[in-house]
Each structure stands twice: as structure tokens, then as C-alpha cells.
Chain A
């Protein structure tokens, strides 16, 4: 393969940019699976608009990774030509849509983290990272308002919607510690003022999420087994199936255009 990603030289900044790209890319693909399956027409429009924003953001990050290293090919080659172990997204983003409570809980937990991370990246010493973050955060602001509203409406809704939401938060909480884990290379980028410092973000995230959950009459799990590995390319079982579907057309017809 001409775009054999694994043979490229190691570049910790590009790895970080791919992590920033893969989160919105993978979540956007998950949301796409709900196209024609939304609970109501307006809600489906909102899900697809959110997905579209996230795909656009992923493209900006991937384009930047390619601009820094043209040997990577192009953004399609990165999105569609990499294998499972080469994706660096958070495990949270790849979880199944489940029911609507699962979808919106996953969205809210991610949106709060995404917003805080982009907010920090607006001040990045890398001007293109700051530019993409400043562009993205305006869109994520709307995503977060919407997912927060749903968490509160469903949590503090009927007994049934409350139970579904509590079950969703219990299931997804296992993927939340990973949001704040940073390896040595990423910490070096933090020290250089390029990457966001998750140690700062964690406290803010926990305060915001706790407040929303209290308003939604939901209880945060006290102790919960935590899963890690997405940022190192070790993904959960549903991810491979999602990727196979996402990449099938590109891999059947590499380089095809219309």
C-alpha cells in the first residue's frame, strides 16, 4: 500500500494531532449509524448536524497532520487506510449507540471534555492547533448545550427515562478516567505549551458533570472499574466492526473519486 502509515517515522506531535482527529471522527461515524434511525425527525437532524460538525473538525485535524508530513498521503488515506491499532481515539467515543439514553450520555460526557480541551488548545503555542480549536469550539458549544439539555430532561423525566439514564451513566463511567490520562510524549507537548493539560481539565470536568447529574437527579457511580487503552490503539470489541463498515467503500475502491 502506498499509504502505509505504520512505516512512517515517529512524530509525537502528529500522534497527538491524530488523537485530536480520531475522537471526532469516530464519534461522528457512530452518530451516522443513526441516520434514518433517529427517534424523531428533529432529533435525527440534530444528531446528523452534530456528526457533520465532528467530521469537519476531524478533517481539519487530519489535513494538518498531512500538511506536517505529506508522506501520510491525504486525509482520506488517514481516515480510511489505517487499521484498528492505529486509531488513537478515546474508548468513550467508539462505544455503541445503544438506546437514546446511551447515545446522549456518551455525547454529554464527551462534549464537556471536548469543550474544555479545545478551550485550552485555543492558547496552544502551535498556531494551526489554536486555529482549528478556535473554529471547533464554536460548534461544540452548541453540541454541549443540546446534550446537557437531554441529560437533564431524561434524567429528571419519567421513572422509565430516569432508569435508562442511570443505567447509561453506570455503563459509560468505565471510560471516563481515560479522558485524563496522558503519556510521557503528550506531557512533553504540554510542557512546550502545545497540548492541553488534562490535569487541569479533570477537576473542571468532574465539577461540571457532577452539577449536571445532580440537576438530572442522577447518581455518579462511586467506584467503577476503569478501562484504558484507546489512546494507545487498544480498542474495545465494537470498534473493529464499526471501522470495517466505515472503511469498506474506500478499501474496495482505493483512491476512487467522483
Chain B
């Protein structure tokens, strides 16, 4: 039985609270893992590789969290920065979120956990070698590109010629 988490991070309850203590860096990362990507809610922003660093600023008594957009025009960028900020703030972690562009986001930053979650949701995770692309539904390698640009900036649309289902492929960049 797979445990299904509520899609909205604020509905997930407060499991970690630091209103009276200072969290460790790994505890801050645990909090950050609670923030889902708004367009791919099965994957956290940490598993997508969007959160680049979380460091306690000693003199300013707050955490500096660096995030980077997947694509320049991704409409979720501002929302993600705001969700990251408020998730930490609600748990009692003062923070400032900064958007950085360099180094540019790279699909290899996606974690194995993130790749597995994407595949389970019917989205093929990014590949180094596109010829190994398999249908996430039936596993067939007999697939065809329908469109290099899919339902969001980060995806392309493919069709499986074996099971005839269309599917999204998370592009390699």
C-alpha cells in the first residue's frame, strides 16, 4: 500500500518544528523535501535539483536557501521560491530565498528518488542516451517523438508504438 501525501504542503501537518531550537542543516533539507513541485507534485523541489544550497548565515541568524529555475520561463519559479520560504518559516526557521542562475540547472541533478517517482507517475525521466527511452507504461523501446515541446517547458511528448499510449518525457538539458 503506497502512502499518498496530500499534494499541498500546508496540508501535510507540521512534523518538524524549530520554533524553540535551531535545526541542523540536514533537518533543514528534510523540511525542504516537503515542498512539492507545483506542476509535478509527485516530486519534491529537492529531488528535482532546484534547491542548490541551504546555509546558516551566522551573523544574520537566518538560513540562506539558493534555488535555481529549471527553465528561464518556468512559470512555477516564483511560486516555488515562495513555497520554500513559507515552509521553512512555518516550521520556525527564519530564512531568505535567493534565485541563482549559475551554474544553469541540469537534468542530471535530479535524484534517483525523483526519477523513480516521475516514472511511477507515467513520465519518462531524463536520459543521456535518447535511444534507450522506454515507455513508462509498458517498457517498450518502440517509441516515437510526437513533439519536442510538451505540456510544460521541461517535457517532450512521445507515443509508445507498442501500447499506443502517449507519454511525457522529461527533457535532458
Contact = CB atoms under 8 A, between A and B. Distances in A.
Q: Which interface residue of B69, B71, B149 has the most chain A CB atoms within 10 A?
A: B149
Interface in B98-116: 101-105
B147 A42 contact: yes
Given A57-B72, A59-B72, A139-B173, A45 B101 contact: no
A138 B173 contact: yes
Interface string B125-163: 000000000000000000000111111010001000000
B149 A138 contact: no
B102 A134 contact: yes
A132 B73 contact: no
Contacts, number: 70
B75 interface: yes
B171 interface: yes
A53 B147 contact: no
Contacts of B71: 52-53, 56, 139
Contacts of B74: 56
Secondary structure call for the A interface: helix
B72 A142 contact: no
A146 interface: yes
Contacts of B73: 52-57, 59, 139
A59 B75 CA distance: 12
Interface of B: 69, 71-75, 101-105, 146-151, 153, 157, 171, 173
Interface of A: 42-43, 45-46, 49-50, 52-57, 59-60, 127-128, 130-132, 134-136, 138-139, 141-142, 145-146
